[in-house]
Chains A and B, each alone.
Chain A
C-alpha cells in the first residue's frame, strides 16, 4: 500500500543520509537567528516594583514589592509572600507544586504560574520610578 512504499523509501534514505545536510544548516541558521532576536527581548535586567495576581484571568491582588507581606490569594488555598523585593507562592494545594518550586521572582516580566488552580503572579517594573514623575 501507499504507506508501505513510504517506509521502504524512508529506510533506504535514512540508512544513507548524512548527520546534517545542506537544508539542516539553512534551518539551523534561521533558528539561531530567531533565538538571538528572541533573547534580546527576553533579557531585561530591570527589577520589578509591582506584583499583580490573576486568578482565572481576573486581577485579584495588586501590590508593590517594597513592603514585605504575607497574603492569602482570594478564591484559592494559595499564599503569596513578598520579601526583599521578590514574590513567591509559599503555600498551595496543587498536585505538582510547580508554582512553589519556582521560588522568589523579583525581575520585571517574571511570572509564577499555577496551571491547576489558574493562578498567575506577574511582576512588572517601572511606573513608580519614571524620571521626573513622583508617584
Chain B
C-alpha cells in the first residue's frame, strides 16, 4: 500500500490533536464529582474523523498511540491498560460502523462509547478479579451514551463544515 506524505502528515496532526485533547481533559475537574472516572472522551471525536478522511488503519494507529501516550504524559501508567482496551476496541467498532455507511455519526458515537465503557469495566473486573465493578455500568453507560452522542455530533459538524478540498487527501 502506497502512503502519501500528505496522509502521514495529517495522521500525525490528528494524533497530536487527540493526545492534546486527552491531556487537557485529564486536567479538567471531573464532570460528575461522585464518579471521578467519567470523562467526555473528546480525543475519541478525532478517531471517527480519521476513519472518514484517512481510513481505518490510520485511525486505529492513532488510537493505539493515543491510548499509550496520554496515560504516560498524565503520569498514570496503569491507565494505559484501560485506555488501550477501551480505545482500540471502540476505534475498531467506529471504523466498521463508518465503513458500512448505514448509521449516522452520532449513533456511531453512542455505540462505540458503550463498547469503550464495557471493555474498561471488563478490564477492571479482570484486574480486581470480581464481577462487582459491573454495578457501575448503568451510570457509566448513561453518561457514555451522552458523551458519545456529543462526540458524534462534533464529527458530523466537522464533516459538514470543512471544505471538500481539505477532506480529500
Chain A interface residues toward B at CB < 8 A: 1, 3-4, 6-11, 13-15, 17-21, 23-24, 27-28, 31, 35, 38-39, 42, 54, 56-57, 95-96, 98, 101-103, 109-111, 113-116, 118-120, 122
Contact = CB atoms under 8 A, between A and B. Distances in A.
Interface residues of B, number: 47
Contacts of A1: 1-2
Contacts, number: 124
B133 A24 contact: no
Contact of B156 (A10, A13, A19): A19
Contact of A54 (B53, B124, B130, B136): B130
Interface of B: 1-2, 33-34, 36-37, 51-57, 76, 78, 98-99, 101-107, 110-111, 124, 127-130, 132-133, 135-138, 141-142, 145, 156, 159-160, 164, 167-169
B50 to A, nearest CB: 10
Nearest to A113: B133
8 contacts: A1-B1, A10-B52, A13-B101, A19-B106, A21-B103, A31-B110, A35-B141, A120-B132
B128 A120 contact: yes
